[in-house]
Amino acid sequence: RASEVEYRQVINSVNDVILETDEHGDVVFLNDSWETITGLESKKTIGNSLFNLVHPKDRTKIEQMFENAKKNPKRTERSFMRIKTLLGKFHEVETTLSLMERSSEDEDIRLVGTIVDIEERRKAEKALAEAERKYRNIIENAVAGIYQMTPEGQFISANPALASMLGYETPYELMQSITDFAEQCHVDSSCRYKLTDLLEKDGAFNNYEVPLKHKNGHTIWVNVSAHLVKDEDGAMHYYEGIMEDVTQRREAEIALKEAKLESDIANRAKSEFLANMSHELRTPLNAIIGFSEIIKNEVFGPVGHKEYNEYAADIHNSGRRLLKVINEILDVSKIEAGERQLNENLVNIEKVVQTCCSLIVPKLESSSIKLENMLGDETPKIIGEELAIKQMVMNLLSNAVKFTPAGGKITISCDVRKNGSCRLNVKDTGVGMAADQIEKAISPFGQLDTKLSRANSGTGLGLTLVNSLIKLHGGSLDIKSKENKGTTASLVFPSKRVALNKVSNSEDSSKSDEKKTNVVKFNDTK
């Protein structure tokens, strides 16, 4: 009795269903796992036909198993089928049946078997198959080449992108043709050894650009990453990686470098030519300006006729304009050649603008253009070259005068932004320009085709020079303009060049006359 109890405890502790039927298929025993798997009580199931417990479509299968087991006593029948559960659903199970040995012919025929719940296993297998299908599709349709390779250089797998990259029609052709990747595909043996060392030492490498041989013989460049896969003993099993064809990018970079080199050479040649020509022109031009001024001013006596004085004045003015053009060409060429250095000091912007305004006022008298200078004591000082800043302001003012019709207005203002930068603004109510014309206006010798520009000829170098000089200061030229609405040209100095003026009062200011002290505060120049 005790041994029977122990036997039943062991049987009921098994996770799989253990069953026993008579020769007709009626259930005579079920362990407790039956209820766990199906939700049906074992006691209530005993006496039912095993054939009625399976899916109708699987009945023939279980009946055939039953007959085969009875005919072959030493053989265990095995099959997959579905069994009913409490909720009316069916679970996939793996079923075994075999004939029990009898001690005598008089003993009843019994069959014993097991039912293993494989529902979760089937779901896992389906999920795995779906995942494999999904990732296989990703790999097959990937733009980058994906591969697995043995340490000896034999492909284990490769996707179509890799085959196409190396010049082969299919992955199969690639894998049949390349039996030693290092020998057959690597152009540079040093790259091959370096990547192999990285794999052995670090187990992986990322984003290495190497040259490879294409099937047709030419060289391609690829960006390759790979990592090592080891076996159970820790030895190198194979490695897998990804390749991206970067040949076009490499060629574009090389072409860009060559074009830049050619451009630099051309710019240097142009700058040298302009510098030499400007020097050769300036020498005789100084003589022309000097002698015409002597004649104009009748230094050595009357020239004899009034028209001679007028002609001398025209020669002198034309000479000075030409000298200005030559000087601008020289300045631009020096900046482009990297030869222009700034002689930096603390520059009083307010005084520079006042000086420029006084020089430009004579040009305004005949055109009735109003000039308003809004700079005051609070205007910050700038760390820079005074001559260059004066040159920039004069060019901006000259441009404003040139493009502002009679009765217009030019306003000069200055403001410090939250980021510490300083903007010196020259605003006019002139003809303005469209957005696509601004770039042309800044380019060397770029001139806008307007009535005012034709009436006031210039070289088109003014804004080019301003743009170059402000860049030397680490700043920028900001132009905002609309056609027939005017233009605002701003010199933007970075915060590291701005010295703020801070006014502080003495402790006794409430008792005596207010005394103000200008404290120069330099912004952080980091």
Q: Is the dihedral of CA 440, 442, 445, 451 positive or negative?
A: positive
Q: In 3-state terms, what secondary structure has residue 424?
A: strand
| DSSP element (H, E) containing 81 | strand 77-84
> What Cα–Cα distance (Å) separates residue 63 from each residue in 44, 69, 352?
22, 10, 110
Q: What is the pLDDT of residue 215?
A: 93
Tell me the pairing of strands 381-384 and 409-416: unpaired
First to last CA, the chain: 94
Token digits of residue 314: 């025209």
Kindly report the number of other CB atoms within 10 A of residue 331's CB atom: 19
Place of tokens 């990297």: 338
Give the pLDDT confidence score for residue 517 in this predicted structure: 31
Under DSSP, the state recorded for 323 is: H
| Radius of gyration over every alpha carbon of the chain, rounded to an integer in angstroms | 47
CA-to-CA dists, residue 509 to 57, 163, 504, 521, angstroms: 107, 86, 10, 22
Which DSSP category does 61 fall into?
A: H
pLDDT at 434: 83
Q: Provide CB contacts within 8 A for 371, sequence distance 6+.
A: 357, 360, 361, 364, 409, 410, 412
Going by C-beta distance under 8 Å and a sequence separation of 6 or more, which residues neighbour residue 35? 41, 42
Helix (H, G, I), strand (E, B) or coil at 130: helix
**Distance of alpha carbon 49 from alpha carbon 45, whole angstroms:** 9
Query: Which domains does the chain show, CATH number per domain?
Result: 2-122 (3.30.450.20), 142-245 (3.30.450.20), 259-336 (1.10.287), 345-499 (3.30.565.10)
Q: What is the DSSP letter of 187?
A: S
Predicted pLDDT at 446: 52
pLDDT tens by residue, the chain, 526 residues: 556 667 777 787 888 999 999 988 999 999 989 998 899 888 889 999 989 999 999 999 999 999 999 888 889 999 999 998 888 888 899 999 999 887 777 778 899 999 998 888 888 888 888 888 888 888 888 889 999 999 888 999 999 999 999 999 999 999 999 999 988 998 888 888 888 888 888 889 999 999 999 999 999 999 999 999 988 887 778 889 999 999 999 999 999 999 988 888 887 787 777 767 767 777 888 888 888 888 888 888 887 778 888 888 889 888 888 887 777 777 777 777 677 788 999 999 999 999 999 989 888 877 788 999 999 888 999 999 999 999 999 999 998 998 899 889 999 999 999 899 999 999 999 988 888 778 777 776 555 554 444 444 445 577 888 998 999 999 999 999 988 889 999 999 999 999 875 443 333 333 334 333 333 333 443 3
Question: Is the four-CA dihedral 465, 466, 468, 472 of positive or negative sign?
Answer: positive
The whole-angstrom distance between residue 518's C-alpha and the CA centroid of its chain comes to: 47
Residues 6+ positions from 89 with CB-CB distance below 8 Å = none
Q: What is the pLDDT of residue 196?
A: 84
Q: How many CB atoms lie within 10 A of CB 385?
A: 20
- Find how far residue 262's CA is from the centre of its chain: 28
Strand partners of residue 29: 20
The answer to whether residues 108 and 22 touch, using CB atoms and an 8 Å cutoff, is yes
Cα 112 to Cα 41, 48, 63, 124: the distances in Å are 19, 15, 14, 29
Using alpha carbons, list the distances in angstroms from residue 75 to 98, 121, 315.
6, 26, 125
pLDDT of residue 427: 95
- Closest listed residue to residue 337, CA positions, set 383, 391, 278, 382: 278
Determine how many CB atoms are found less than 10 A away from the CB of residue 200.
11
